[in-house]
Amino acid sequence: MRTTTSTAPTGRTVPVTLASGEQRHHQVLIIGGGNAGISLAARLRRYRFKDIAVIEPKSRHLYQPLFSHIAGGTADAFEAVRLQSAVTPQGVAWIRDKAVDVSTDTHTVLLESGSAITYDHLVVCPGIQNDWSSIPGLKEAMEGPHGASNYEYELAPKAWDLFRGMTGGTVVFTQPSGPASCAGAAQKPLYLACDHWRREGVLKDIRVVLAVPTPTIFGMEIIDEELNRKIDEYGIEVRFSTELASVEPQARTVQLLNTATGAAETLSYDVLHAVPPQSAPQWLKTTDLPAPGNRAGFVEVDPLILRHPRFPEVWSLGDSASTLNSKSGAALRTQAKVLAKNLRAVTRGRKPTTKYNQYSACPFVVSRNTVVFSEFDDKYSPMPTVPGWNNLARERRLTFIAERVMLPKIYWNLILRGLA
């Protein structure tokens, strides 16, 4: 079947809305029109797939890596947003709705509107869920005047407003344990803010505390070396193997728990910058797509070919896939290429033989003009894509320009068009 898509004279994709009880079918149905869904759809269009639909409820597409720069005052909020209608590839149907269940028996996705879509192949990529309510007091603290985060588009500009107004006091930054989208991004607003305070001459009057769940700052020797140097330079107090246990927003205190020793600590704060615990989207956890007994709820996939081991017509990539790598846009860029090739092979009656190499990356923005660039595999062993790896892993201006200036352009113009 050929997709019936609607493209406005402006070149924008007009969303399709289905009535309750309505049914339709697509050869390739993609749940989630974020980084993974749109870049994969674009790549499949290039491979001449004719009947692709993306289910995506939101009208705005967000480039999340810029949230850290918005929180740290090195980007404006508008830079991270495009209309979904502008990023959905031409010839791809955009179904503006929410998936609420998947029936793997009947190859059907049920939507919030009460309609249903059947598929030949289903790609599941609705991202990851921020579990703000899983820590007592955290949600309330974020809603109050002293809490902010780079992990929500709406809270990132608030972070910068709070940081730039500071001339003294205590700021607590927290990074959660468990699965996370680009875990290291929790630290980027920290370094950006410290550099700002240093330039303003107030860093010496601000107590900066960072709680990380790991026994070292990141987990790769060369990167830890660089980050520790910056931490010393800024005078940051780091609590290793430490998690946020609860917040009392009225009293402006956090309770931290050292998971290695069991020791608890209460700290007063003037500003709390927190990153929430994260897990698979709630509705996904209750489908039969996660591995049986896997409470994290991410879609079970063969981590090499990205195909579901029990339901061969189901595929997954990005933050909602239970791959072994550290979740990131850099990882899913590689995954999208693999998945598109494997799906093309299968629809042509061949075996899916292209394998994902477990690549991931995290550019640590460590000042307002430098980056420490980490590239690694699922075991956190270095996996450089550019010769001279050691140079890129050291603090560099060049990698800041690549991350802050070039990457957003590459994202909007190449990655989302299936070209990179």
Of 159-167, 202-210, 264-272, 329-337: span binding ligand FAD (CB under 6 A): 329-337
329 binds ligand FAD (CB under 6 A): yes
203 binds ligand FAD (CB under 6 A): no
CB of 108 to ligand FAD, least distance (A): 14
The correct pick among 53, 363, 416, 418 for binding ligand FAD (CB under 6 A) is 363
**Cβ at position 168, least distance to ligand FAD in Å:** 27
- Binding of ligand FAD by 366 (CB under 6 A): no
**Residues in 140-159 that interact with ligand FAD by CB under 6 A:** 150-151
DSSP 8-class letter at 132:
G
Which run of H or E residues covers position 172?
strand 169-174
- Nearer Cβ to ligand FAD, position 35 or 367? 35
Alpha-carbon distances, residue 387 vs 118, 134, 390, 391 (angstroms): 46, 43, 9, 9
**Minimum CB separation from ligand FAD for residue 213, in Å?**
17
Fill in the amino acid letter for 213. Answer: P
Position of tokens 């699965």? 179
Q: Applying CB under 6 A, which of residues 37, 213, 290, 297 lies at the interface with ligand FAD? A: 37
33 is a site residue for ligand FAD (CB under 6 A): yes
Q: Which residue is nearest to ligand FAD (CB)?
A: 34
Distance CA 323, CA 316 (A): 9
CA angle centred on 84, ends 81 and 86, rounded to 5°:
90
If binding is defined by CB under 6 A, does position 74 make contact with ligand FAD? no
Enclosing H/E stretch for 206? strand 206-211
Q: Does 189 bind ligand FAD (CB under 6 A)?
A: no
Nearer to ligand FAD (CB atom), residue 36 or residue 257: 36
**Residue 194 three-state SS:** helix
Return the number of the residue (137 or 176) whose C-beta is nearest ligand FAD.
176
Q: Other CB atoms closer than 10 Å to residue 167's CB: what's the count?
A: 10
* Pairwise CA distance, residues 249 & 410, whole Å: 40
Candidate list 26, 28, 29, 32; residue touching ligand FAD; CB under 6 A = 32
Contact track, ligand FAD, 281-310, x by CB under 6 A: x-x---------------------------
Is 375 one of the binding residues for ligand FAD (CB under 6 A)?
A: no
Q: What is the DSSP letter of 382?
A: B
Size of the site for ligand FAD (CB under 6 A): 37
User: Taking contact as CB under 6 A, which single stretch among the options 53-61, 194-202, 243-251, 346-354 is the one that binds ligand FAD?
Assistant: 53-61
Q: How far is CA 251 from CA 142, 160, 237, 247, 268, in A?
A: 14, 22, 22, 9, 8
Residue from 185, 254, 301, 393 in contact with ligand FAD (CB under 6 A): 185
Q: Choose, by CB under 6 A, the member of 98, 146, 207, 355 that binds ligand FAD.
A: 98
213 binds ligand FAD (CB under 6 A): no
Cβ neighbours of residue 98 closer than 8 Å, sequence gap 6 or more: 55, 57, 111, 112
How far out from the chain centre does Cα 104 lie? 26
Residues 100-139 that bind ligand FAD (CB under 6 A): 125-127
CB of 299 to ligand FAD, least distance (A): 11
31 binds ligand FAD (CB under 6 A): yes
Q: Helix %, strand %, coil % for the chain, to 5?
A: 30, 25, 45
Nearest by Cα to 339 from 291, 301, 294: 301
Choices 51-59, 131-139, 220-228, 238-246 (CB under 6 A): range interacting with ligand FAD: 51-59
The correct pick among 43, 49, 53, 65 for binding ligand FAD (CB under 6 A) is 65
Tokens of 21: 């009880």
Is residue 340 within 8 A of residue 332, CB to CB? The reply is no
64 contributes a contact to ligand FAD by CB under 6 A: yes
Residues 41, 57, 126, 334, Cα dihedral to 10°: 30
- Three-state DSSP string of 50-116: CCEEEECCCCEEECCHHHHHHHHCCCCHHHHEEEHHHHCCCCEEEECCCEEEEECCCCEEEECCCCE
Q: Per CB under 6 A, does 350 bind ligand FAD?
A: no
- Considering only 52, 55, 289, 371, the residue that binds ligand FAD (CB under 6 A) is 55
Q: Which residues of this protein are in contact with ligand FAD, per CB under 6 A?
A: 31-37, 55-58, 64-65, 67-68, 98-99, 125-127, 150-151, 181-182, 185, 281, 283, 318-320, 327-330, 332, 361, 363
